[in-house]
A = this chain, B = another copy of it.
Amino acid sequence: MASAALIALDWGTTSLRAWLLDEAGQVLDRQQSREGILSVPAGGFIAVFEAILSPWRTNSDPLPAIACGMVGSRQGWREAPYAPCPCAAVDLQHKLARVAAGASDLVIVPGVAFDPGGQPPDVMRGEETQVFGALAGSESSATFVLPGTHSKWVTAEQGRITRFATYMTGEVFDVLRRHSILGRTMSDGVVRPDNASFIDGVEAGLNGGSGLLHRLFEVRSLALFDRLSALDGQSYLSGLLIGSEIAGARETATGDHPPVTLIGAPDLVAAYRTALHIAGIAAEVADLEVTPQGLWRIAVAAGMIGR
């Protein structure tokens, strides 16, 4: 068995995932906990870090450790200010934050900012690592779509993140379902992308133009007229919002939209793949393990491995 060379952490808002990697970036072991940064009390980061490392502790020198995600935000352990676009994996080394954590130091990956002037800035934190993992060192150009609470559309050119845009799709879905009148005509349940209502919603979103605030009310009026069942309401709303996101992204793309690569949880990726297909945009799906791959590439570029 190859020997361990790096501890890689994805430390987000609500979860913590950790991987033990060898020199070539292969995963030797993994752990997962619910100790996202929101559940860590003030001053408590080091204890959580030590606990997750303990099964991997050896008698030899401590392994280098690297983390991405909200652990580097103002609400995290140590703020790692954003690196500007355009940004390659190697550029991140200038913005790494470091915290002393017992025997090991922990290196924290910065987020990336897109701030072209003349329009509001945009930010990501964690997704840059997934993109560098999916690029796998390639210098090619590609568009990545990372669905989620705050979906990201990321353009990479010659191995660098050159621009990106965030869409609040997942969070808007969640607050409308839970807190608006739209939730009253919906039963609990899951979004089913193979559902006719999801497809109807996607088409309404794709063709909705500037009228999203009107299209949202249609979710209610369709239910009042018994044309949308309580069971299908969530699928329709999800489709509507994802369709609107794709329409927005397509509007800002120059010329035909190239194929995109989806990165994310399988259920979300399936929903987006269906919606992108309806929009006429071809989509591939990235490897699920892009995050440890990205952390390993950033660590290699920063000279953290094989010192």
Residues of A within 8 A of B (CB): 115, 120-123, 150-151, 165-169, 171-172, 175-176, 178-181, 204, 208-214, 216-218, 221-222, 224-225, 227, 241, 244-245, 247-248, 250-252
Q: Across the interface, do A213 and B241 meet the contact criterion of CB distance under 8 Å?
A: yes
- Whether A221 lies near B120 (C-beta < 8 A) is yes
Tell me the complex Cα distance, A241–B212, Å.
10
B-side contacts of A251, CB under 8 Å: 209-211
Q: Tell me if B121 and A222 are in contact (CB < 8 A).
A: yes
Give Cα A213 to B173, complex, Å: 11
Copies of this chain, tallied across the complex: 2
SS class, residues of chain A in contact with chain B: helix
Q: How far is the CB of A177 from chain B (nearest CB, A)?
A: 10
B172 touching A179, Cβ below 8 Å: no
- Of B171, B216, B250, the contact of A172 (CB 8 Å cutoff): B216
Nearest Cβ distance between residue A213 and chain B, in whole angstroms?
A: 4
Contact A214 to B178, CB < 8 A, known contacts A115-B225, A122-B221, A221-B120: no
CB neighbours (8 Å) of A179 from chain B are 175, 178-179
Contacts of A227 in B (CB 8 A): 120-121
Nearest CB in chain B to that of A152: its residue: B217
- Residue from B121, B165, B213 in contact with A168 in the complex, judged by beta carbons closer than 8 Å: B213
The CA-CA distance from A247 to B213 in the complex, in Å, is: 10
Given contacts A120-B227, A222-B120, A225-B115, contact A167 B217 (CB under 8 A): yes
10 contacts between A and B (CB under 8 A): A115-B225, A120-B204, A120-B218, A121-B222, A167-B211, A172-B180, A175-B179, A175-B180, A212-B248, A213-B244
A214 touches which of B165, B171, B176, B181 (Cβ 8 Å): B165
Q: Is the CB of B166 within 8 A of A225?
A: no
Min CB distance A79 to B, Å, is 11
Min CB gap A284→B, angstroms: 23
Name which residue of chain B comes closest to A75, CB basis.
B184
- Nearest 7 pairs of A and B residues by beta carbon: A211-B248, A210-B247, A120-B218, A167-B213, A166-B217, A210-B248, A175-B179
> B120 and A248: CB pair below 8 A?
no
Given known pairs A175-B176, A179-B179, A180-B168, the reply for A123 and B224 (CB within 8 Å) is: yes
Bound together, the chains give a CA A227 to CA B123 distance in angstroms of: 14
Task: Give Cα A263–Cα B150 distance, bound, in whole angstroms.
Answer: 36
Roughly how many angstroms separate A142 CA and B112 CA in the complex, as a whole number? 50
**A92 to B: closest C-beta gap in Å:** 19
Min CB distance A161 to B, Å, is 16
Closest residue on chain B to residue A204 by CB atoms = B120
Q: Is the CB of B245 within 8 A of A213?
A: yes
What residues of B have a CB within 8 angstroms of the CB of A210 in the complex? 208-210, 212, 244, 247-248, 250-251
Check if B218 sits within 8 Å of A248, measured CB to CB.
no
